[in-house]
Structure 1
Amino acid sequence: MTRTLYLLCSAAPPVFDVARVIEDAQARGWDVCLGLSPTAADWLAEGTDGLAALTGHPVRSRYKRPADPDVWPSADAILVAPATFNTVNGWALGLTDRFVVGVAAEALGKGTPLAVMPCVNTAFVRHPQFEQSLAVLRGAGVRVLYGDDGFTPHPPGQGAARPYPWTLALDAVDDLVRGDFQERGR
Protein backbone atom coordinates (compact mmCIF):
# COMPACT_ATOMS: atom_id res chain seq x y z
CA MET A 1 0.00 0.00 0.00
CA THR A 2 1.75 3.15 -1.21
CA ARG A 3 0.37 6.49 -0.16
CA THR A 4 1.73 9.73 -1.61
CA LEU A 5 2.35 12.71 0.65
CA TYR A 6 3.20 16.13 -0.66
CA LEU A 7 5.32 17.82 2.00
CA LEU A 8 5.22 21.55 1.24
CA CYS A 9 7.67 23.62 3.29
CA SER A 10 8.17 27.33 3.84
CA ALA A 11 11.37 29.04 4.98
CA ALA A 12 11.29 28.63 8.76
CA PRO A 13 13.99 26.96 10.88
CA PRO A 14 12.20 23.54 11.12
CA VAL A 15 12.75 23.12 7.37
CA PHE A 16 16.34 22.16 8.18
CA ASP A 17 14.94 18.92 9.71
CA VAL A 18 13.18 17.94 6.49
CA ALA A 19 15.41 14.93 5.66
CA ARG A 20 14.58 13.32 9.00
CA VAL A 21 10.89 14.14 8.52
CA ILE A 22 10.92 12.53 5.08
CA GLU A 23 12.52 9.41 6.56
CA ASP A 24 9.91 9.33 9.33
CA ALA A 25 7.10 9.67 6.79
CA GLN A 26 8.60 6.93 4.63
CA ALA A 27 8.79 4.64 7.68
CA ARG A 28 5.02 5.21 8.01
CA GLY A 29 4.45 4.03 4.43
CA TRP A 30 4.41 7.39 2.64
CA ASP A 31 5.95 8.09 -0.76
CA VAL A 32 7.05 11.68 -0.16
CA CYS A 33 7.26 14.49 -2.71
CA LEU A 34 8.99 17.63 -1.39
CA GLY A 35 7.94 21.13 -2.42
CA LEU A 36 9.70 24.24 -1.13
CA SER A 37 8.95 27.94 -1.11
CA PRO A 38 11.57 29.97 -3.03
CA THR A 39 13.39 31.00 0.16
CA ALA A 40 13.28 27.47 1.61
CA ALA A 41 14.73 26.21 -1.70
CA ASP A 42 17.52 28.75 -1.35
CA TRP A 43 18.19 27.71 2.26
CA LEU A 44 18.39 24.03 1.27
CA ALA A 45 20.04 24.53 -2.13
CA GLU A 46 23.17 22.56 -1.28
CA GLY A 47 21.12 19.55 -0.19
CA THR A 48 18.32 19.36 -2.76
CA ASP A 49 20.05 16.65 -4.82
CA GLY A 50 20.29 14.50 -1.69
CA LEU A 51 16.65 15.23 -0.82
CA ALA A 52 15.61 14.24 -4.35
CA ALA A 53 17.57 10.99 -3.99
CA LEU A 54 15.94 10.37 -0.60
CA THR A 55 12.41 10.85 -1.95
CA GLY A 56 12.96 9.45 -5.43
CA HIS A 57 11.27 12.56 -6.86
CA PRO A 58 12.53 15.97 -7.96
CA VAL A 59 12.36 18.65 -5.27
CA ARG A 60 10.11 21.37 -6.64
CA SER A 61 9.90 25.06 -5.88
CA ARG A 62 8.41 26.32 -9.15
CA TYR A 63 5.45 25.59 -11.34
CA LYS A 64 6.11 23.40 -14.33
CA ARG A 65 5.65 24.75 -17.84
CA PRO A 66 2.23 23.92 -19.33
CA ALA A 67 3.62 21.38 -21.82
CA ASP A 68 5.89 19.64 -19.29
CA PRO A 69 4.73 16.33 -17.84
CA ASP A 70 3.88 15.98 -14.16
CA VAL A 71 6.89 14.56 -12.33
CA TRP A 72 5.05 13.69 -9.12
CA PRO A 73 2.32 11.09 -8.59
CA SER A 74 -1.06 12.36 -7.39
CA ALA A 75 -1.21 13.23 -3.70
CA ASP A 76 -3.22 11.22 -1.21
CA ALA A 77 -2.56 13.92 1.41
CA ILE A 78 -0.71 17.21 1.72
CA LEU A 79 1.13 18.58 4.71
CA VAL A 80 2.06 22.27 4.62
CA ALA A 81 4.71 22.62 7.30
CA PRO A 82 6.46 24.63 8.44
CA ALA A 83 4.00 27.23 7.18
CA THR A 84 5.12 30.82 7.58
CA PHE A 85 2.91 33.87 8.08
CA ASN A 86 3.25 34.59 4.36
CA THR A 87 2.30 31.05 3.32
CA VAL A 88 -0.72 30.83 5.63
CA ASN A 89 -2.07 34.21 4.53
CA GLY A 90 -1.30 33.71 0.84
CA TRP A 91 -3.05 30.35 0.85
CA ALA A 92 -6.13 31.63 2.67
CA LEU A 93 -6.37 34.61 0.32
CA GLY A 94 -5.85 32.45 -2.79
CA LEU A 95 -2.63 34.19 -3.83
CA THR A 96 -0.96 31.44 -5.81
CA ASP A 97 2.15 33.11 -7.15
CA ARG A 98 4.32 30.59 -5.24
CA PHE A 99 4.34 26.88 -6.07
CA VAL A 100 3.69 25.55 -2.56
CA VAL A 101 0.72 27.87 -2.06
CA GLY A 102 -0.68 27.08 -5.50
CA VAL A 103 -0.50 23.33 -4.94
CA ALA A 104 -2.21 23.66 -1.55
CA ALA A 105 -4.88 26.00 -2.92
CA GLU A 106 -5.71 23.71 -5.83
CA ALA A 107 -5.85 20.70 -3.49
CA LEU A 108 -8.76 22.34 -1.67
CA GLY A 109 -10.82 22.12 -4.86
CA LYS A 110 -9.68 18.56 -5.54
CA GLY A 111 -10.74 17.39 -2.09
CA THR A 112 -7.25 16.22 -1.17
CA PRO A 113 -6.85 15.83 2.60
CA LEU A 114 -4.78 18.75 3.91
CA ALA A 115 -3.05 19.64 7.14
CA VAL A 116 -1.10 22.80 7.96
CA MET A 117 1.17 23.54 10.88
CA PRO A 118 2.26 27.17 11.13
CA CYS A 119 5.67 28.28 12.35
CA VAL A 120 5.34 31.93 13.34
CA ASN A 121 6.33 34.14 16.23
CA THR A 122 3.99 36.00 18.56
CA ALA A 123 4.46 39.30 16.72
CA PHE A 124 3.07 37.80 13.50
CA VAL A 125 0.10 36.18 15.23
CA ARG A 126 -0.97 39.57 16.57
CA HIS A 127 -1.62 40.71 13.01
CA PRO A 128 -5.41 40.50 12.46
CA GLN A 129 -5.08 38.66 9.14
CA PHE A 130 -3.40 35.62 10.69
CA GLU A 131 -6.39 34.43 12.75
CA GLN A 132 -8.72 35.22 9.85
CA SER A 133 -6.55 33.12 7.56
CA LEU A 134 -6.54 30.18 9.96
CA ALA A 135 -10.34 30.44 10.19
CA VAL A 136 -10.63 30.43 6.39
CA LEU A 137 -8.45 27.33 6.11
CA ARG A 138 -10.36 25.53 8.88
CA GLY A 139 -13.63 26.46 7.18
CA ALA A 140 -12.32 24.94 3.94
CA GLY A 141 -11.66 21.65 5.73
CA VAL A 142 -7.94 21.99 6.36
CA ARG A 143 -6.69 20.40 9.59
CA VAL A 144 -4.94 23.32 11.33
CA LEU A 145 -2.30 22.28 13.86
CA TYR A 146 -1.84 25.41 15.91
CA GLY A 147 -1.86 26.35 19.59
CA ASP A 148 -2.63 23.56 22.02
CA ASP A 149 -3.25 21.22 19.06
CA GLY A 150 0.05 21.89 17.28
CA PHE A 151 2.65 24.61 17.04
CA THR A 152 2.83 27.18 19.82
CA PRO A 153 4.26 30.58 18.81
CA HIS A 154 7.29 32.04 20.55
CA PRO A 155 8.44 35.66 21.03
CA PRO A 156 10.37 37.19 18.11
CA GLY A 157 14.07 36.39 18.08
CA GLN A 158 13.88 33.88 20.92
CA GLY A 159 13.36 30.65 19.04
CA ALA A 160 10.89 27.96 19.96
CA ALA A 161 10.54 26.93 23.60
CA ARG A 162 10.02 23.34 22.42
CA PRO A 163 10.96 21.49 19.24
CA TYR A 164 8.70 21.84 16.23
CA PRO A 165 6.15 19.00 16.59
CA TRP A 166 6.79 17.17 13.32
CA THR A 167 5.50 13.89 14.75
CA LEU A 168 2.16 15.53 15.49
CA ALA A 169 2.01 16.76 11.90
CA LEU A 170 2.69 13.29 10.49
CA ASP A 171 0.13 11.80 12.88
CA ALA A 172 -2.42 14.30 11.54
CA VAL A 173 -1.95 13.31 7.88
CA ASP A 174 -2.08 9.65 8.86
CA ASP A 175 -5.40 10.33 10.61
CA LEU A 176 -6.73 12.31 7.65
CA VAL A 177 -6.31 9.46 5.19
CA ARG A 178 -6.76 6.38 7.36
CA GLY A 179 -10.50 5.97 6.69
CA ASP A 180 -10.37 7.23 3.12
CA PHE A 181 -7.56 4.86 2.18
CA GLN A 182 -9.31 1.84 3.64
CA GLU A 183 -12.49 2.74 1.74
CA ARG A 184 -10.62 2.94 -1.57
CA GLY A 185 -9.02 -0.47 -0.94
CA ARG A 186 -5.40 0.62 -1.22
Structure 2
Amino acid sequence: MTVSSATDQKPFLYVVVCASGVAADVGKLINAARQRDWSVGVVATPLGLTFLDAAAVQEQTGYPIRSTWRSPGEARPLPPADAIAVAPATFNTINKWAAGISDTLALGILCEAHGMGVPTAALPYLNAAQAAHPAYARSLEVLREMNVMIGSYEPHRPKAGGGADRFRWEEALELLEPRIGRRS
Protein backbone atom coordinates (compact mmCIF):
# COMPACT_ATOMS: atom_id res chain seq x y z
CA MET A 1 0.00 0.00 0.00
CA THR A 2 2.13 2.82 -1.27
CA VAL A 3 1.39 6.10 -2.94
CA SER A 4 0.94 5.75 -6.71
CA SER A 5 4.00 7.06 -8.51
CA ALA A 6 2.88 6.83 -12.13
CA THR A 7 1.69 10.21 -13.36
CA ASP A 8 -1.20 8.66 -15.31
CA GLN A 9 -2.41 6.55 -12.38
CA LYS A 10 -5.00 8.01 -10.04
CA PRO A 11 -4.45 7.56 -6.31
CA PHE A 12 -6.80 4.98 -4.81
CA LEU A 13 -8.88 5.90 -1.76
CA TYR A 14 -10.55 3.37 0.50
CA VAL A 15 -13.64 4.82 2.15
CA VAL A 16 -14.46 2.80 5.27
CA VAL A 17 -18.14 3.24 6.08
CA CYS A 18 -19.55 2.49 9.54
CA ALA A 19 -23.14 1.98 10.69
CA SER A 20 -24.64 5.43 11.05
CA GLY A 21 -27.58 7.27 9.55
CA VAL A 22 -25.26 9.69 7.76
CA ALA A 23 -23.60 6.74 5.97
CA ALA A 24 -26.33 6.82 3.32
CA ASP A 25 -24.73 10.06 2.07
CA VAL A 26 -21.29 8.52 1.38
CA GLY A 27 -21.85 9.34 -2.29
CA LYS A 28 -20.95 12.92 -1.39
CA LEU A 29 -17.41 11.86 -0.46
CA ILE A 30 -17.14 9.56 -3.45
CA ASN A 31 -18.16 12.38 -5.81
CA ALA A 32 -15.78 14.85 -4.16
CA ALA A 33 -12.89 12.36 -4.43
CA ARG A 34 -13.62 11.56 -8.06
CA GLN A 35 -13.79 15.30 -8.87
CA ARG A 36 -10.29 15.58 -7.37
CA ASP A 37 -9.09 12.74 -9.61
CA TRP A 38 -9.08 9.90 -7.08
CA SER A 39 -10.32 6.39 -7.73
CA VAL A 40 -12.47 5.10 -4.86
CA GLY A 41 -13.44 1.77 -3.33
CA VAL A 42 -15.76 1.31 -0.37
CA VAL A 43 -15.18 -1.03 2.56
CA ALA A 44 -18.14 -1.23 4.91
CA THR A 45 -18.49 -2.69 8.36
CA PRO A 46 -21.08 -5.49 8.28
CA LEU A 47 -23.71 -3.21 9.87
CA GLY A 48 -22.51 -0.22 7.86
CA LEU A 49 -23.36 -2.13 4.71
CA THR A 50 -27.03 -2.11 5.73
CA PHE A 51 -27.03 1.72 5.66
CA LEU A 52 -25.88 1.91 2.03
CA ASP A 53 -27.55 1.66 -1.34
CA ALA A 54 -25.00 -0.92 -2.42
CA ALA A 55 -25.96 -0.90 -6.10
CA ALA A 56 -25.67 2.90 -6.30
CA VAL A 57 -22.29 2.94 -4.50
CA GLN A 58 -20.91 0.17 -6.72
CA GLU A 59 -22.09 1.98 -9.83
CA GLN A 60 -20.55 5.23 -8.60
CA THR A 61 -17.15 3.67 -7.79
CA GLY A 62 -17.00 0.92 -10.39
CA TYR A 63 -15.93 -1.53 -7.68
CA PRO A 64 -17.79 -3.97 -5.43
CA ILE A 65 -18.26 -2.94 -1.81
CA ARG A 66 -16.04 -5.02 0.45
CA SER A 67 -17.42 -6.15 3.76
CA THR A 68 -16.00 -9.62 4.34
CA TRP A 69 -12.62 -11.26 3.97
CA ARG A 70 -11.69 -12.96 0.72
CA SER A 71 -11.45 -16.73 0.47
CA PRO A 72 -7.96 -18.19 -0.04
CA GLY A 73 -6.97 -17.80 -3.68
CA GLU A 74 -9.75 -15.32 -4.45
CA ALA A 75 -8.63 -12.27 -6.45
CA ARG A 76 -8.36 -8.93 -4.67
CA PRO A 77 -11.41 -6.88 -5.66
CA LEU A 78 -9.76 -3.51 -4.92
CA PRO A 79 -6.31 -2.11 -5.73
CA PRO A 80 -4.08 -1.30 -2.75
CA ALA A 81 -5.02 1.90 -0.92
CA ASP A 82 -2.96 5.05 -1.27
CA ALA A 83 -5.05 6.60 1.51
CA ILE A 84 -8.02 5.70 3.72
CA ALA A 85 -10.96 7.81 4.89
CA VAL A 86 -13.12 6.42 7.69
CA ALA A 87 -16.38 8.26 7.19
CA PRO A 88 -18.52 8.14 9.17
CA ALA A 89 -16.34 6.80 11.98
CA THR A 90 -18.58 5.56 14.78
CA PHE A 91 -17.94 5.28 18.51
CA ASN A 92 -17.68 1.50 18.17
CA THR A 93 -15.20 1.53 15.30
CA ILE A 94 -13.01 4.24 16.82
CA ASN A 95 -12.71 2.37 20.12
CA LYS A 96 -12.11 -1.05 18.55
CA TRP A 97 -9.57 0.35 16.09
CA ALA A 98 -7.60 2.10 18.84
CA ALA A 99 -7.63 -1.11 20.89
CA GLY A 100 -6.29 -3.12 17.94
CA ILE A 101 -9.42 -5.24 17.59
CA SER A 102 -9.65 -6.68 14.10
CA ASP A 103 -12.95 -8.56 14.12
CA THR A 104 -14.23 -7.22 10.78
CA LEU A 105 -12.56 -6.66 7.41
CA ALA A 106 -12.87 -2.89 7.88
CA LEU A 107 -11.09 -3.00 11.23
CA GLY A 108 -8.47 -5.39 9.87
CA ILE A 109 -7.66 -2.94 7.08
CA LEU A 110 -7.50 -0.04 9.54
CA CYS A 111 -5.28 -1.91 11.99
CA GLU A 112 -2.86 -2.85 9.19
CA ALA A 113 -2.83 0.63 7.63
CA HIS A 114 -0.74 2.05 10.48
CA GLY A 115 2.01 -0.53 10.04
CA MET A 116 1.95 -0.08 6.28
CA GLY A 117 2.23 3.70 6.43
CA VAL A 118 -1.06 4.40 4.65
CA PRO A 119 -2.29 7.95 5.37
CA THR A 120 -5.62 7.66 7.20
CA ALA A 121 -8.26 10.19 8.20
CA ALA A 122 -11.27 9.57 10.43
CA LEU A 123 -14.40 11.69 10.44
CA PRO A 124 -16.12 10.81 13.72
CA TYR A 125 -19.91 10.89 13.79
CA LEU A 126 -21.40 10.23 17.21
CA ASN A 127 -23.53 11.83 19.86
CA ALA A 128 -22.32 13.82 22.86
CA ALA A 129 -23.28 11.09 25.34
CA GLN A 130 -21.04 8.61 23.54
CA ALA A 131 -18.25 11.18 23.25
CA ALA A 132 -18.43 11.73 27.02
CA HIS A 133 -17.37 8.14 27.67
CA PRO A 134 -13.72 8.15 28.84
CA ALA A 135 -12.76 5.40 26.36
CA TYR A 136 -13.53 7.72 23.43
CA ALA A 137 -11.02 10.42 24.43
CA ARG A 138 -8.36 7.76 25.08
CA SER A 139 -9.09 6.14 21.72
CA LEU A 140 -8.73 9.43 19.85
CA GLU A 141 -5.41 9.99 21.62
CA VAL A 142 -4.18 6.54 20.53
CA LEU A 143 -5.28 7.14 16.94
CA ARG A 144 -3.52 10.52 16.86
CA GLU A 145 -0.35 8.81 18.15
CA MET A 146 -0.74 6.50 15.14
CA ASN A 147 -0.80 9.61 12.89
CA VAL A 148 -4.49 9.22 12.09
CA MET A 149 -5.95 12.61 11.20
CA ILE A 150 -9.19 13.27 13.08
CA GLY A 151 -11.95 15.42 11.56
CA SER A 152 -13.52 18.39 13.26
CA TYR A 153 -17.16 17.25 13.63
CA GLU A 154 -18.62 18.18 17.01
CA PRO A 155 -20.81 15.41 18.48
CA HIS A 156 -24.55 16.05 18.25
CA ARG A 157 -27.12 15.89 21.05
CA PRO A 158 -28.36 12.37 21.81
CA LYS A 159 -31.77 11.45 20.42
CA ALA A 160 -31.88 14.71 18.44
CA GLY A 161 -31.65 13.33 14.92
CA GLY A 162 -27.93 13.86 14.51
CA GLY A 163 -26.06 16.63 12.78
CA ALA A 164 -25.88 15.34 9.23
CA ASP A 165 -26.07 18.91 7.91
CA ARG A 166 -22.79 19.68 9.73
CA PHE A 167 -20.94 16.56 8.59
CA ARG A 168 -18.21 17.69 6.15
CA TRP A 169 -17.46 14.71 3.94
CA GLU A 170 -14.83 16.66 1.97
CA GLU A 171 -12.80 17.20 5.13
CA ALA A 172 -11.38 13.70 4.67
CA LEU A 173 -9.78 14.76 1.38
CA GLU A 174 -8.57 18.05 2.86
CA LEU A 175 -6.78 16.08 5.58
CA LEU A 176 -5.36 13.40 3.30
CA GLU A 177 -4.20 15.28 0.22
CA PRO A 178 -1.22 17.02 1.85
CA ARG A 179 -0.06 13.62 3.16
CA ILE A 180 0.16 12.10 -0.30
CA GLY A 181 1.54 15.15 -2.04
CA ARG A 182 -1.68 16.21 -3.80
CA ARG A 183 -3.45 19.52 -3.61
CA SER A 184 -7.08 20.09 -4.42
Please give the TM-score of this superposition, normalised by the length of structure 2.
Answer: 0.89
Q: 1:162 Cα deviation (Å)?
A: 4.4
Q: Does the alignment pair 1:93 with 2:96?
A: no
Structure 2 distance, partners of 1:100, 1:14, is 18
Structure 1 distance, partners of 2:174, 2:42, is 18
The size of the alignment, in residue pairs, is: 174
- Measured against aligned partners, the alpha-carbon deviations of 1:28-64 in whole angstroms (never above 9, x if no partner) come to 01100001111111122xx212211211111111111
Identity %: 36
Q: Which residue of 1 aligns with 2:177?
A: 174
User: Is the alpha carbon distance of 1:71 and 1:151 closer, same or farther for their aligned partners in structure 2, counting shifts above 3 Å?
Assistant: same
Output the amino acid matched with 1:30: W
Q: Which residue of 1 aligns with 2:5?
A: none
Structure 2 distance, partners of 1:42, 1:116, is 20
Q: Which residue of 2 aligns with 1:42?
A: 50
Question: 2:157 aligned to 155, 158, 168, which one?
Answer: 155
Q: 1:20 Cα deviation (Å)?
A: 2.5
The answer to which of 20-29 and 80-89 deviates more is: 20-29
Please give the TM-score of this superposition, normalised by the length of structure 1.
Answer: 0.88
Q: Which residue of 1 aligns with 2:19?
A: 11
Output the amino acid matched with 1:14: V
Q: Which residue of 2 aligns with 1:66?
A: 72
Runs of 4 or more consecutive aligned structure 1 residues displaced over 2 Å after TM superposition: none
Unaligned stretches of 5+ residues in structure 2: 1-7
Structure 2 distance, partners of 1:3, 1:137, is 23
Q: 1:12 Cα deviation (Å)?
A: 1.3
Structure 2 distance, partners of 1:157, 1:178, is 40
Q: Give the conservation status (yes or no) of the 8 Å contact 1:154–1:161.
A: no
Structure 1 distance, partners of 2:14, 2:96, is 18
User: Is the alpha carbon distance of 1:53 and 1:162 closer, same or farther for their aligned partners in structure 2, counting shifts above 3 Å?
Assistant: closer
Structure 2 distance, partners of 1:161, 1:27, is 22
Q: 1:4 Cα deviation (Å)?
A: 0.2
Q: Secondary structure of the residue that 2:122 maps to in structure 1?
A: strand
Question: Aligned-residue CA RMSD in angstroms?
Answer: 1.6
